Amino acid sequence: MPNDFFQFKQFNVEQGGAAMKVCTDSCVLGAWASYHQPKYILDIGTGTGLLALMLAQKYPNAHIDAIEIDREAAIQAEFNFNQSHWKEDIKLIVADYSNWEANLKYDLIISNPPFFLKNLKSPDSKINLAHHADNESLKSLSKYIARNLNDSGKACIMYPPFESALFEKEMLKQGLYQNERVILYRDEKRKPFRHLVQFSHQKADLKESELLVKQQSQYSPEFVELLKEYYNIF
């Protein structure tokens, strides 16, 4: 079973009350997502607060709004934010993102949304909320990002390959283009399990790369380089 906490170099993530635990792919997303000196960041579906905390460490001068619909997860996130160095820089919003609008547009939007369209659902409603999506949620998220991303902003989103292809089509309908895509593998023997995609309002040639978490049973050099500012084991 996952630990009730996960210790990073500069912060801890308590996760006992959250359906969505800290996982490697989320950490990759948080370390990979970037924007040059963002002033305003939005984390959609913050869960334990992991991505908000990773971005707060990376961009200590930014203000971060972190939205979470599940109240138990929000309580966990609030605790994690308050225990961090950046409690004044992160604002928790307990709401359904589709019913909440800021009075500004964001430089960077990040989300590790519920994504499994094809998998069997769990009898636990909280796990379903954290892990499962439907076609309407893909449309809703794409429209929301388009409304709240500023003209030069970036949106960094992670889905499994099948759901990512569907989401990319929805984003294109909203005038948001793929600028960068990372295809994530657990190791060299398995198929890709996540796509990390950066979108913007600007159309550009797609920059595509691959990342192995492990290579020959050890963390790959690329993974170590990406996570070295966060993981205690490096």
Q: What is the pLDDT of residues 76-93, one digit of tens each?
A: 999 999 999 999 999 999
Mean pLDDT, to the nearest integer, of 53-62? 98
Read off the pTM: 0.90
- In this predicted structure, the answer to whether residue 120 has a pLDDT above a threshold of 70 is no
pLDDT in tens, 166-189: 999 999 999 999 999 999 999 999
**Residue indicated by tokens 């959609």:** 44
Pick 5-178's CATH classification: 3.90.700.10, 3.30.465.10, 3.40.50.150, 3.40.190.10. Answer: 3.40.50.150
Domain layout of the chain by residue ranges: 5-178
